[in-house]
Structure 1
Amino acid sequence: MNNEYNNEYRFNIEEVEGTDKTSESYTGFSTDDMKPKKKHTALKAMAGIMALALVSFGSIEAYRAVEPSLTKGALTGIIAESDTTSAGSSIKADSMNIFATKPAGGTAMETEDIVDKLLPSVVGIESKFIVETSTGNSGGYFFGFDSIFGGSDPFSGGNSGSPQVEEVPATGTGVVITDDGYIVTNAHVIYDTEYSVGEATSVSVILSDDTKYDAEVVGYDVECDLAVLKIDAKDLTPAEFGDSDSLRLGESVVAIGNPLGFDLKNTVTGGMVSGLNRNISINDKTMTLIQTDAAINSGNSGGPLINKYGQVIGINSSKMSNSYSMNEASIEGIGFAIPSNIVSKVVDDIVELGYVEKPQLGISCRPVTEDIAEMYNMPVGVYVIEANEGGAAEKAGLKKGDIITAIDGTTVKTPDELTNEKNKHNPGDVVEITFVRNGEEQSVKLTLGKSEPKAQKTEEAEETEESERDERAEKFERIERPDRTDRSATID
């Protein structure tokens, strides 16, 4: 056994204060497009201001600038596991596997042939949210205009100073996965966590032939950033999904989406696979993603990343903005997509189970950073705040105060790294956990538990939620809003 550390730590970690070094994982930004309602054929003329809005706050999962919350603060409480899935309806698929990935291969296709093959499977998505802005915000969803213009949104008509209710549309992209109307997109296109708005009040799907359907939310998982929708349509063209595990660095890819809304519907961009298995932190959740230099912009969320065989190998979800750079250096061509093999499992779970089945350790934890470890003679790792009663960790003998340093021999230094390693396994798998207790390194075999579905809402809770939505909608209908359409520029 390793007795490198003192048998008794100088302090309990919950009493220690310190600062962490920036995480080695990156911080990405959601790519949906959220803005005040306006004519379908118009884009804002003030491109510079719009770019700033998008970089800083212009989407449901608002673009985050680099700030202390993104550097994984040493003593910020982190819950390693939580139920992040919600079932939106009782719709069930006819079979266990709603779709499956196919081996990559065949004859490489020309870009225009790839586009011809995929366009019928790519859809536009519009979600509507009822948002009550805080006092002093003038009613538009232009957070930040106060600082730019010295007081208010220049498009608001001067109603600053009182709470306003806005119907806020967000646009994104989706991919048809069955011929009878199942569609996959990003969770952040239809569900807002950043401003606690929650699920969209309505979701619409626009097919490639411009036919518009009301969509039902089958379910979503905010941690995986995936959602499944269902429309009442037949004879659709489902996309073919390929094996993302077979991707190679430098392989050519194509992206299709609706950047900045539907004015630029079905925009095609191309590039290559720039990186694989990138651990990217988006709104405090770490995901393992494909990196590409194909242009991915606001509104591309949920669209396909396609290989040279015309197979979808990823769902575009995020990009890196200039605000990530500490020295304000320009950042271009760094976008990310959720691998198709992950999409396949998540979609099947959402449709069949109503939630995404994930392996569980059953702990609450915090990071022991290098600064803290050096200062208090502790090992770098993941400090167990609590082992949940009846959970996998408690059953294996882990307890409060243990510091986890590895899982199956792979070193883990943060809760994100621990979660990533855990999620490579399935519920019921046996893993070896290496940890330090009172200065002594130990290991234990642990059988991973599995996530459980959220408790169903009571009828009373459903009625209360519906009543609150109706009240917000009624407020919205009573508001007198100035005509903003003459302050936009049209695209010729």
Structure 2
Amino acid sequence: MKNEYKYTVKGMNENNENNEVNGMNNNYSEYTCFSTDSNVSKKFKRRMTAKIAASIMAMVLVSGGSIGIYHYAFGTNNNLTTLAVEETEETTEKAAESTISAKTVNYTNLTETNRDELTTEEVVQKVLPSVVGIESTFTMTSQSNGGGYFNFGGFGQNQQPQTSTATATGTGVVITTNGYIVTNAHVIYDTEYNSGLASSISVIVNEEDRYDAEVIGYDTDYDLAVLKINAKDLVAAEFGNSDDLELGQNVIAIGNPLGFDLMNTVTSGIVSGLNRQITINEKSMTLIQTDAAINSGNSGGPLINKKGQVIGINSSKMSASYSEASIEGIGFAIPSNEASRIVEDIMEYGYVTGKPQLGISCQDVTENISRMYDLPVGVYVTEVKQDGAAANAGIQSGDIIIKVNGESVTTYEELTAKKNEHKAGETIELTYVRDGVENKVTVTLDEAVAAQN
């Protein structure tokens, strides 16, 4: 039995406060777990779903966890030998001992080839050795009052934090022969339940060899991460040029749906759409659409053309929610050209360069809030980072941003989208309201330098 993870296509909770510095919504959400292990106790099956703004469709990130927590630790039935996994160091810094440069990443020089297309069997034989399984362990902390219905208002027992361990599964692609692997950030970093970076990560190669993994870096905005395992003579995938894709072109997906019991599942389809602007967790992405089956656990796996070249990293799918509507065959992948740029930056700098940052935390002023407090609809600034771009331009806590470069913004999502149209070092004009008076200011955008955004 499988329960899917549902993510908002568009819109936000009125009470959500957004931190522009880290780019993440830190509110707790309800989620839906699923398990492929019949031995897992029902009491451990929690729920964590995001509110669905469109009421019908929701985006589903397709890892088996973290965002795909599909079973709890020690509850798997696979026969893989588990080695001790060491906790990774802080990933905002570039790995000190890493000597690899971006130039050594196979797909930074995207392969152009005129050879004939391969058969499906030949494509699978070529790419399958480069596809790996990824298992991430998360430590989750919650409060338990232990006082039943009467423990409220300060009565009853004191709340005690409780910790539990959960695992997430996903897929990855080998990009160098000496153990560098690309996957989705949401496979190894949980933003929905605030677990953050996984406490341990392991990589399964050839369905039987398990390695401890080091996190080189990740970026949750672009949903990409780079891992490193201590292995040699791996088969690195060949990456193609995603700009050459055409509608209707045949593609193949390989991944680990529902965990490792169905490891290396192969599905096929076509390119259903190009340059799709999709919003997942208030973050807009430009993705490839495909009808090749992509399920929970496929996150980070390859989308492949008929020449055996990886042209996308599978990331999410559309699913029906709060409706009887049936939605099938709508999956999305990060284009290989975009992934190449992101991975090069992560491997060379430990973060994605050129990302603009205002240096503010903020909250939406919705129509309801506007009427209740007689405020303009816009983006309310709750905190300003000292010496940040906004602070240096004179923006203060309590200001309400209503326009960017003369165009109205009513939500944090819209503000972020306008900001992301520019690079660090460029300027934008903000129109804001302070004490009922409308003002304008020019802001020079800073560069966000942390791997976590």
TM-score (norm 1): 0.63
The whole-number CA distance in structure 1 between the counterparts of 2:244 and 2:368 is 39
CA spacing shift, 1:328–1:216, aligned 2, 3 Å:
same
Higher alpha-carbon Rg: 1
Q: Which residue of 1 aligns with 2:71?
A: 35
- On the 8 A contact 2:404/2:418 being kept in 1, the answer is no
SS of residue in 2 equivalent to 1:332? coil
Question: Equivalent residue of 2:173, what SS?
Answer: strand
Q: 1:307 aligns with which of 294, 305, 308?
A: 305
Question: Does residue 420 in structure 1 map to residue 417 in structure 2?
Answer: yes
User: Is the Cα contact below 8 Å between 2:400 and 2:433 reproduced in 1?
Assistant: yes
Q: Once the 2 structures are TM-superposed, how far is the Cα of residue 179 of structure 1 from its aligned partner? A: 1.3
Q: Distance in 2 between matches of 1:209 and 1:202?
A: 19
1:354 counterpart (340, 350, 359): 350
Partner SS, residue 262 of structure 1: coil
The CA deviation string for residues 253-291 of structure 1, in whole angstroms up to 9 with x for no partner, is 221101112221111112233334444444454444333
CA contact (8 A) 2:240 2:311 kept: yes
Contact 1:87-1:220 at 8 Å conserved across structures = no
Give how far 1:107 is off. Answer: 4.2
In angstroms, what is the RMSD of aligned CA positions? 4.0
SS of match in other structure, 2:342 = helix
Task: State the one-letter code of the partner of 2:76.
Answer: K
Asked whether 1:339 is paired with 2:348, we answer no
CA distance in 2, matches of 1:22, 1:166: 30
Q: How many angstroms apart in 2 are the aligned matches of 1:274 and 1:136?
A: 50
Q: What SS is found at the alignment partner of 1:264?
A: coil
Deviates further, 95-104 or 115-124: 95-104
Distance 2:445 2:340 in 1: 22
User: Residues 136 and 30 (structure 1 numbering): CA distance in 2 closer, same or farther, change over 3 Å?
Assistant: farther
Cα deviations by residue, 1:463-489 (Å, 9 ceiling, x for unpaired): xxxxxxxxxxxxxxxxxxxxxxxxxxx
**Structure 1 pair 393–193 and aligned structure 2 pair: CA distance change class (3 A):** closer
CA distance in 2, matches of 1:310, 1:443: 53
**1:366–1:195 Cα change, 3 Å:** closer
SS, match of residue 127 in structure 1? strand
1:329 is matched with which residue?
325
Partner amino acid, structure 2, of 1:234: K
> What is the aligned partner in structure 2 of residue 109 from structure 1?
117
Greater helix content: 1
CA distance in 1, matches of 2:320, 2:133: 27
- Please state how far the C-alpha of 1:176 moved relative to its aligned partner: 0.6
One-letter amino acid of the counterpart of residue 78, structure 2: H
Alignment of 1:155-166 (within 5 A): none
Residue by residue, what CA displacement relative to the aligned partner does 1:59-112 show, whole Å, maximum 9, x if unpaired? xxxxxxxxxxxxxxxxxxxxxxxxx97458534242244521526663462433
Q: How does 1:17-36 map to 2 (within 5 A)?
A: 22=53, 27-33=58-64, 34-36=70-72
**Could you tell me which of 287, 290, 294 is aligned with 1:289?**
287
Is the 8 Å Cα contact of residues 101 and 340 (structure 1) preserved in structure 2? no
Change (3 A) 1:193 1:403: closer
CA drift of 1:412 comes to: 4.5
Q: What one-letter code is carried by the residue in structure 1 that aligns with 2:297?
A: G
State the identity %.
55
Report Cα offsets for 1:185-215 as digits up to 9, x if no partner: 1222223333333433332222236333222
Contact 1:254 1:271 in 2 (8 A): yes
Decide whether the 8 Å contact of 1:27 with 1:280 is kept in 2: no
Aligned pair partner of 2:131 in 103, 122, 127? 122
Letter in 2 for 1:112: E
Post-superposition shift, 1:449? 0.9
Q: Which residue of 2 aligns with 1:225?
A: 223
Paired residue type of 1:349: D
Q: Is the 8 A contact 1:132 1:166 kept in 2?
A: yes
SS in structure 1 at match of 2:261? helix
Counterpart amino acid of residue 322 in structure 1? A
CA distance in 2, matches of 1:196, 1:307: 36
Displacement after TM superposition at 1:383 (Å): 4.4
| C-alpha deviation, 1:134, in angstroms | 6.7
- Aligned counterpart, 1:435: 431
**Bigger relative contact order, structure 1 or 2 (CA pairs below 8 A, ≥6 apart):** 1
Q: 1:420 to 1:120 in 2, by over 3 A?
A: farther
Superposed CA offset, 1:346-398 (max 9, x none) = 32232222233321122333335566679999876544455544322344455
- Is 1:244 aligned to residue 282 of structure 2? no
The residue type equivalent to 1:124 in the other structure is G
1:479-490 to 2 correspondence within 5 Å?
none
* Cα separation, 1, equivalents of 2:438 and 2:273: 35
After TM superposition, the structure 1 stretch with the greater mean CA deviation from structure 2, 281-290 or 350-359, is 281-290
Residue 39 of structure 1 and its aligned partner are, at CA, apart by: 1.7
Higher strand share: 2
How far apart, CA to CA, are the structure 1 residues paired with 2:228 and 2:56? 34
Q: Are the equivalent residues in 1 in contact too, given 2:58–2:320 (CA < 8 A)?
A: no
Worse-superposed segment, 183-192 or 108-117: 108-117
Amino acid paired to 1:366: Q
| Alpha-carbon distance, 1:235 to partner | 2.1
Question: How many matched pairs?
Answer: 369
Deviation at 1:307, TM superposition (A): 3.0
Instruction: Mark the runs of 5 or more structure 1 residues left unpaired by the alignment.
Output: 1-12, 15-19, 43-83, 138-161, 456-492
- The answer to whether 1:90 aligns with 2:102 is no
| CA distance in 1: counterparts of 2:439 and 2:115, whole angstroms | 52
TM-score, normalising length: structure 2: 0.68
